[in-house]
A and B are shown apart, each in its own frame.
Chain A
């Protein structure tokens, strides 16, 4: 094949793009969304036979149809964002905390126990303080155990945190059985007294949840970016050798960071139980411990970007279920529609970092 080979350039070549400008980034993403909508429209029209524009309208309505829908969206958004904020320091340290789920559950369980057993004996402010404290402590414990084992015996944190999820689920199952007594299910906690329920604040039921998470968003951003501990987290995440060289106590940073990570996830359990469900079950975390990993990574641990991504995910999720119920479509069809949008948006990141040069297009002079 050597000398008879004809010279042919490859069809396309992929070239790294350095420093795309902001308008360009926005343009690429806008094109991606437009393309996604076109592909989805074809899917909707040819597969389901519906009017794509009407479907998009319903999807949009899932979040924006009325103030109630919007407040539900915000509620879901802050819940997801809260877990993402919790996971961010751990993942920034390259500690694969896959135990968000368990940390939420155990924090929620601690909250529920305080509500049930101390709800009638403590004044409201003290009760809330106890609930928050219990959830923080429980979540922190769930985060520290795998970190401590890793720092001592170099156990694998991915497996360890995952297994801690099952432990938490089983404990919650066990405790709800005890708490429900002879009732068929646990039901709403403190239904009569509403002790330990977040009050309606400024006319909105979920405002306290939102305020707490907004504060956390700012606090975590500042912690990671401006604090000495945040700097240590970055160094340990990049290279443990460098951290040791710099005189950083890697074990201590690891345990401390997971304490914070677990505590915030635990606090999310508190928000879910006291501010949203007023009950606890094995499905209270609802997979957010895992979805939040995507949120944290995609945002590269910038908590404000995390809020945007959480919004996108929640918007799509709500839109999908809205389509499914409005047209009595199969849930899978709705998932395909949102999946296509997500695919295009994530795929557009490639075109932000790389350029594709077709054959015969290279410029001799730049």
Chain B
């Protein structure tokens, strides 16, 4: 039988959720031996489209073809039966099982349970595509990248020859991303069709053969990667020209705002999640914090914000703009810090689980930190309402009403609400954790612009990021965390990506910073 040209083809596929049209008449195809990058802003319907191929949603209209045969995919099981495997952003693995046992979980009912055989077959897959995976390792001992590898091996084991990867590089270091791409190229060489969703344009350019672009749920078109550039792709995605340069003004007479000394945070398992951190933060500059996620970034910011208990001996001194005596922050609750008149704004990583109340509207979220003002037992919703209205207009938050629960808004809009509130509090120190994670280009650039504005106002900005290109373009200094330790502070203007990447994974032997 001749190899059919199209591995998968969509014809006028439509999906609506209530009033919202997630995908409208999308037609798209992927050939065997091809890597297709699917590009689009947040809310453009990429994940919905892929979920229809993977059997999680059922299309309202249109037809899906596999090998040019019309098919009906009602469940992930159907999808796998057709050779379609999707790697989701959130892994679906059993922590206490080994890699082999996790693979065995997906066996068909009729199959004989034989771990030895599963192990051998998985071994063969790993060798064929050069996956670095220890099949006897328990999942809870694995790094994020290893878990992802396991997920890929799992779908390959089940015979998938059409692979969909939903933002696979979001959680990886540059080195790990390179390794993943090598494996994807091996799969391509083996004749598999690969669809990859990512926000990072340079990755799109380096891995894909062709780029398909969605805008507001509709298919805009495709372009061969060899003819594409970052600005062409952005223009197709956004519908207009966007300037892709992050501004980095030179800091004007930076003043010391925070002095952090011997800051150690002990985790629930008794280990030092943050180990003896020692550094200063200056007003008027952006201090970037790089590191693989889970290396102490969260604890560092939360300790400064008064949400984590610092081990004895730690000092976090705040230098107020209007006085010479520093204020000790260790031991102060968020409320105590606020009541001491210290404007500390914090955009936490977990937006809906910490920064905002998902079930409340914009108005009620505006007063999260300020509702207690005044002696009246009744909350005043007038000022928060005005603030919400202002943020909605200035940052272009798309919401049906100020009382619509923020959890119903798209990721970018949620972040605008949170950042807007934190900036409105007139910060002296502004901490942000993964401020642009999951956001599209437009929103990301809005955030960079807002951070730069704060910097020019003399605010001390701490920016915890994961995209090294952005860190290197935006930040004045970059502090690298590795295993909870400060592994060097580099000048953002002279540091290289390789150097930062290396320090993220290997502790450099140097005493003091």
Shortest Cβ gap from A12 to chain B (Å): 11
Q: Does B278 contact A (CB under 8 A)?
A: no
In the bound complex, what is the Cα–Cα distance between A364 and B25 (angstroms)?
Answer: 9
CB < 8 Å neighbour of A17 from B18, B63, B66, B67 = B18
| Residue A7 is within 8 A (CB to CB) of chain B in the complex | yes
Question: Are the CB atoms of A242 and B307 closer together than 8 Å?
Answer: no
Closest to A228 in B: B379
> Do residues B66 and A10 form an inter-chain contact, with CB atoms below 8 A?
no
The interface-forming segment of A69-77, A191-199, A232-240 is A232-240
A232 to B372 Cα, complex, angstroms: 9
For the complex, what is the distance from the CA of A9 to the CA of B70, rounded to whole Å? 12
Within 8 Å by CB of B371, from A6, A228, A239, A241, lies A228
Distance in angstroms between the alpha carbons of A84 and B57 in the assembled complex: 39
Shortest distance in angstroms between B13's beta carbon and chain A's nearest beta carbon? Answer: 12
CB-based contact A239/B357 at 8 Å = yes
Answer whether A7 and B70 are a contact pair too, CB < 8 Å, given A231-B364, A244-B307, A247-B338: yes
What DSSP secondary structure best describes chain A's contact surface?
loop
A188 vs B116: C-alpha distance in the bound complex, in angstroms? 76
Q: Give the total of A residues in contact with B, Cβ under 8 Å.
A: 37
Contacts of B17 on A, CB cut-off 8 Å?
15-16
CB distance from A201 to the nearest CB of B (A): 31
Residue contact A1 to B16, C-beta cutoff 8 Å: no
A6 to B69, CA, bound (A): 10
- Decide: B338 and A245 in contact? CB cutoff 8 A: no
Q: Report the Cα distance A48→B408, complex, angstroms.
A: 50
In the assembled complex, the Cα of A2 lies from the Cα of B61 at a distance in Å of 21
Interface assignment of A229: CB less than 8 Å from any CB of chain B: yes
Nearest residue, chain B, Cβ from A2: B82
Name the A residues within 8 Å of B58 (CB-CB): 10, 13
Binds A, one of B33-41, B141-149, B348-356: B348-356
Which of B60, B71, B74, B360 touches A238 (beta carbons < 8 Å)? B360
Q: Do B353 and A242 touch across chains, with their CB atoms under 8 A apart?
A: yes
Contacts of B358 in A (CB 8 A): 238-239
User: Number of residues in B with C-beta < 8 Å to the partner?
Assistant: 49
Least Cβ–Cβ distance between A235 and chain B, in angstroms: 6
> B334, B353, B357: which contacts A235 (Cβ < 8 A)?
B357
Indicate whether A227 sits within 8 Å of B368 (C-beta atoms), given known contacts A15-B18, A239-B354, A242-B354: no
B367 and A18 contacting across the interface, CB-CB below 8 Å: no
| A234 partner residues in chain B, CB cutoff 8 A | 357, 359-360, 364
Interface string of B330-371 (1 = CB under 8 A from A): 000111001000000010101011111111100010011101
Name the distance in Å between B58's Cβ and chain A's nearest Cβ: 6
B100 at the interface (CB under 8 A from A): no
Say whether, besides A246-B334, A246-B368, A241 and B72 are in contact (CB < 8 Å): no
Say whether B360 contacts A247, CB under 8 Å.
no
> Chain A contacts of B359 at CB under 8 A?
234, 238
CB <8 Å contact, B378 and A245: no
Contacts of B357 in A (CB 8 A): 234-235, 238-239, 242
Interface status of A226 (Cβ within 8 A of chain B) = yes
Chain A residues near B334: list those with CB within 8 A. 244-247
Chain B residues closer than 8 Å to A19, beta-carbon distance: 18-19
How distant is A2 from chain B, measured CB to nearest CB, in Å?
5
Of B63, B355, B364, B377, the residue contacting A245 (CB under 8 A) is: B355
Residue B14, interface by CB 8 Å? yes
For B338, list chain A residues within 8 Å (CB).
Answer: 247
- B178-202 vs A: 1/0 string, CB under 8 Å? 0000000000000000000000000
- Interface residues of chain B, those whose CB is within 8 Å of chain A, are 14, 16-21, 58, 60-61, 63, 66-67, 69-72, 74, 81-83, 305, 307, 333-335, 338, 346, 348, 350, 352-360, 364, 367-369, 371-372, 376-379
Give 25 CB contacts A-B under 8 Å.
A2-B69, A13-B58, A16-B18, A19-B18, A228-B372, A228-B378, A228-B379, A230-B379, A232-B371, A234-B359, A234-B364, A235-B368, A238-B357, A239-B352, A239-B357, A241-B350, A242-B354, A242-B355, A242-B357, A242-B368, A246-B369, A247-B333, A247-B338, A362-B61, A366-B21
